[in-house]
Structure 1
Amino acid sequence: MKNIHKTLNTKTLAISVALALAAIGVSQNVLANDITTALTSGTASADFNLRYEEVSQDNALQDASALTLRSRLAYTTGKVSGWSAMMEVEDTRIVMGQGDYSVPQTGYNSGIYSVIADPEHTELDQGYVQYSSETFTANIGRHVIAWDGQRFIGHVGWRQDRQTFDGVSAKYNPSKELTLNYAYLTQRNRIFAEALDQDSKDHLLNASYQTTLGTITAYGYLLELDNSTDSALDTYGVSFVGSSMAGETKLLYALEYASQSSEPAAADMDADYILIEAGAVFSGITAKLGYEVLGSDDGIYGFQTPLATLHKFNGWADIFLTTPAQGLVDTYVSLGGKVAGGAWTVMYHQFEADEASSTVDDLGSELDLSYGRSYGANYSAGIKYSAYSGDSGRVDTDKLWGWVGAKF
């Protein structure tokens, strides 16, 4: 009997091992099949933007012109248990030799022509692994992050080489009304190919709650360069953006306040940000009146938004990509609507210093015009013009753009 039990135990062990190995083999085959299915069931996409840009400034630089083609090719896999991956390559080329412009940040024609910030480049635009469920999404790798209209965190998508970030980001929706966002960034991939990419240790926190009158958002953006220097920029703020109906007129409103502290090696600086915007939609026209203040600390330091899509704000001529030390007050009015199947916008800005000095007070004015439309699901075209009238040492600047785009 003893030998029989021993034989049975041996057989049982052998059967168990065989079943375990079979299960492992099955699970490996299932996983392999899932991965194969994910790879073969993914989607490929292409995005092309051919743009002409012209810049004329009232200074010693020669007028600039550029005809560039930006191409993006991407592939996104299918999902395996909520997991997927995405890879996208971006390339910008000068077309037909139309490259009479300067990109000082990369050394291209530096100091000869006015600046057009579209260097030739080829790079990995996005490459990340994603996990997603009904309430949670996380990305690991290089990807686009664009929050709250991109006033503080954006992709600078107007330029041919858009801004992306290396790191981890997560989005959690515990309810339909509440959204929680967090990101930790290890590198900022700027818009000048790899010339000004920055290693960082940035923490981005953003929480929003939808009410019947609008969305309340609180945020903290803690930016720090990872370059062995004491360079921190901390911004905390809250905003309220919404709309309501008054008869057949839709009322628009936005309020925002933020406080910023900058800690360079030399001294600590503090500045505030204020936005008040009101508008209405009536008879197909959208009208807005806004007052935006990027404050100053005693005329020495101006409130900064280095990771924003800056082209969207304070004028399309891009005069104030860096806030002056005296700060910036932007009073603006805009009108927009639709005609001939496309959308038009007219915008006027009046700029002044937040803390004026004997040499810096009135910072000029700007008129912006645009028209764009889509042609079916795949094609688009547009034209855009900006005229800045300078003051306090800033030169008059005119810019013109025309573009056609295709997405597949």
Structure 2
Amino acid sequence: MKRIFTTYIFTLIVALMVPVALSAQFRLSAEVRPRTELRNGFKTPTSSGFDPAFFTEQRSRLNVDFKDEKYALRFSLQDVRIWGEVPQIFKEDAGTSFLSEAWGQYFVSETFSVKAGRQIISYDNQRFLGGLEWAQQGRRHDALLFINENPKTRTKLHIGLAFNADKDKLEPAYLQAPGASFYSVGGNYKALQYAWYNKTFADKKGSLSLLALNAMTQNPDSTVSSKQTFGIIPRVKAGKIMLAADLYYQTGKIGEQNVNAFLAGANATFQTKATPITLGFEYISGKDDDDTSSDITNFSPDYGTNHAFNGLMDYFFVGPANGNVGVIDLYLKTKFKVGKGALLLHGHEFMTGSKQLDGEGSELGKGMGFELDAVYVRKLAPAVTLHVGASALLGTETLTTIRPGNEKFNQWAWTMITFKPTLFDSKEEEKKKKKKKKK
């Protein structure tokens, strides 16, 4: 009933907005994205005797974008489900439908605006703050943003604030009940404050971004911990070579434990006649097994699009967080045309970011394995894109020692087709009308 009611409300909003679009910008778009996967050692090594997983998961969205002179709105209704989880004839729906986005933005001036609601927070290459759109559900924040963007100076400054509560104490008791401020939603922050600054260099020679973020999490004893993350993200173009880096440092306290962790990555992309080639590395700190201190030295890219990093098989920071191990990732990436599409090839050599010991106390080797990813992408139509991917990971004794599963050779294959049409665009309709008048 709740899902049906949400759908009715969303449809009503669309119906009310269409007439208003005559004097403003109105866009209605949709997305249907089924993805079929064969998993045989995805995210962690498989074990002998285990059967591969084979399934199709689908994301469906309906998006409404509205923009007037002084404000903008976005509503995005989303449904995520596994094919077959609901019978052909049913009265109860096991699928998950919800508002993916619902925000409003007020333009105070040409350069300054305020944005509030459920929204994507995504910056730079999404290493630490990203929309996680590979996952069918995506990542969303309930937040208030103060945005200053000046095209003349090529600068952007975003300040974000969030404070989360849940309904374990129902309103109105929530306002004054004992323990009402305790936040019990696992894996999420209770409060967030951040500032992101970006400067684009002249002649598109690169950019520099700075990030300062404080995440406050609820402790079991009702106290609150705070962890700070500071980032520097430079991009510099030198001739035909693009140099990029990601430098992050984490500090603060989680309970009684001090945080002292970092991430350092750099890569260079060379433009050749045939294809671009990217060579790079990333070091994510871990915690040595023989480190007896209580300090947290393993870095955590908490809110990023982690699927885009450290291999597409998601062995690190997606699903399993990789514990205290950390990771060193040496990689080579390229892309070239194949027929009417493009083929992406990625190779990764993984090593531990810390000293790891076996059950007898002997130090394990640094190498964890090699992963090869291949993805074919082809545009079938302006609003239809096909992806076909295959990955293989050859692990080492170290990997099977520190992870569940005993098989060293692991595979993953998938195919995804994305339908992403614009159903109505007031701007395009206005252009069509003007063309007809000229004729």
Fold similarity call, TM over 0.5: yes
**Residue of structure 2 equivalent to 1:43:** 27
**Residue of structure 2 equivalent to 1:341:** 340
Query: Please, what is the CA RMSD of the aligned residues?
Result: 2.9
Instruction: Report the Cα distance in structure 2 between the residues aligned to 1:302 and 1:323, rounded to whole angstroms.
Output: 9
Whether the aligned pair in 2 keeps the contact of 1:295 and 1:302 (CA below 8 Å) is yes
What is the DSSP-based 3-state SS (H/G/I as helix, E as strand, rest coil) of the residue aligned with 2:125?
Answer: helix
Write out aligned runs for 1:6-405 (5 A).
37=20, 42-57=26-41, 58-59=46-47, 61-79=50-68, 81-96=69-84, 120-132=95-107, 134-174=110-150, 175-187=152-164, 198-212=188-202, 213-226=205-218, 228-245=222-239, 250-299=240-289, 301-321=297-317, 322-359=321-358, 360=364, 361-391=366-396, 392=398, 393=401, 394=403, 395=405, 396=408, 397-405=410-418
Whether the aligned pair in 2 keeps the contact of 1:349 and 1:366 (CA below 8 Å) is yes
What is the DSSP-based 3-state SS (H/G/I as helix, E as strand, rest coil) of the residue aligned with 1:302?
Answer: coil
Whether the aligned pair in 1 keeps the contact of 2:144 and 2:161 (CA below 8 Å) is yes
Instruction: Write out per-residue CA displacement over residues 34-58 of structure 1, whole angstroms, 9 at most, x where no aligned residue.
Output: 9972598522111110110110133
What is the DSSP-based 3-state SS (H/G/I as helix, E as strand, rest coil) of the residue aligned with 1:37?
Answer: helix
1:338 shift after superposition? 2.4
Q: Per the alignment, do residues 374 and 187 of structure 1 end up closer, same or farther by CA in structure 2, a change over 3 Å counting?
A: farther
Q: Per the alignment, do residues 170 and 39 of structure 1 end up closer, same or farther by CA in structure 2, a change over 3 Å counting?
A: farther
Instruction: Report the Cα distance in structure 2 between the residues aligned to 1:157 and 1:188, rounded to whole angstroms.
Output: 25
Larger radius of gyration: 1
Equivalent AA in structure 2 for residue 376 of structure 1: A
1:160 shift after superposition? 0.8
Identity %: 22
> Larger relative contact order (C-alpha < 8 A, sep ≥ 6)?
2
Aligned length in residues: 348
Whether the aligned pair in 1 keeps the contact of 2:105 and 2:116 (CA below 8 Å) is yes
Instruction: Write out per-residue CA displacement over residues 178-236 of structure 1, whole angstroms, 9 at most, x where no aligned residue.
Output: 111221133599xxxx9857352111211111224321111112112256343322111
Equivalent AA in structure 2 for residue 37 of structure 1: V
Q: Per the alignment, do residues 82 and 296 of structure 1 end up closer, same or farther by CA in structure 2, a change over 3 Å counting?
A: same
The two structures have a TM-score, normalised by structure 1, of 0.78
Whether the aligned pair in 1 keeps the contact of 2:228 and 2:252 (CA below 8 Å) is yes
Instruction: Report the Cα distance in structure 1 between the residues aligned to 2:190 and 2:23, rounded to whole angstroms.
Output: 36
Q: Runs of 4 or more off by more than 6 Å in structure 1? A: 33-36
Q: Per the alignment, do residues 35 and 98 of structure 1 end up closer, same or farther by CA in structure 2, a change over 3 Å counting?
A: closer
The two structures have a TM-score, normalised by structure 2, of 0.73
Equivalent AA in structure 2 for residue 399 of structure 1: W
Where structure 2 has 5 or more consecutive residues not aligned to the other structure, the ranges are 1-15, 88-93, 167-183, 292-296, 359-363, 422-439
Equivalent AA in structure 1 for residue 162 of structure 2: L
Instruction: Write out per-residue CA displacement over residues 3-54 of structure 1, whole angstroms, 9 at most, x where no aligned residue.
Output: xxxxxxxxxxxxxxxxxxxxxxxxxxxxxx9997259852211111011011
Of stretches 283-292 and 336-345 in structure 1, the one that deviates more from structure 2 is 336-345
Instruction: Report the Cα distance in structure 2 between the residues aligned to 1:285 and 1:188, rounded to whole angstroms.
Output: 49
Whether the aligned pair in 1 keeps the contact of 2:112 and 2:149 (CA below 8 Å) is yes
What is the DSSP-based 3-state SS (H/G/I as helix, E as strand, rest coil) of the residue aligned with 1:162?
Answer: coil
Instruction: Report the Cα distance in structure 2 between the residues aligned to 1:316 and 1:324, rounded to whole angstroms.
Output: 19
Where structure 1 has 5 or more consecutive residues not aligned to the other structure, the ranges are 1-32, 100-118
